[in-house]
Amino acid sequence: MLLKMNELKKNKIEYFKLKATSKEIWSITSYDKSYKEYNCEAMHDMNKEKYLKSNKIVYAMTDIDSDEIDYCFINGKYQTN
The total number of structural domains that make up the chain: 1
The pTM of this model reads 0.76
Whether residue 80 lies inside any domain: the answer is no
DSSP state of 32: E
What b/e string do you get for 6-29 counting C-beta neighbours within 10 Å, with b at 16 or more? ebbeeeebebbbbeeeeebbbbbe
pLDDT by 10s per residue, the chain, length 81: 899 999 998 898 888 999 988 888 899 999 999 999 999 999 878 789 999 999 999 999 877 665 666 666 565 555 544
**Cα separation of the two ends of the chain:** 18
Whether residue 33 lies inside any domain: the answer is yes
Residue 27 backbone dihedrals phi, psi, to 5 degrees: -140, 155
Whether residue 57 lies inside any domain: the answer is yes
Whether residue 14 lies inside any domain: the answer is yes
Whether residue 81 lies inside any domain: the answer is no
Domain that holds residue 50: 2-75
Distance CA 43, CA 73 (A): 7
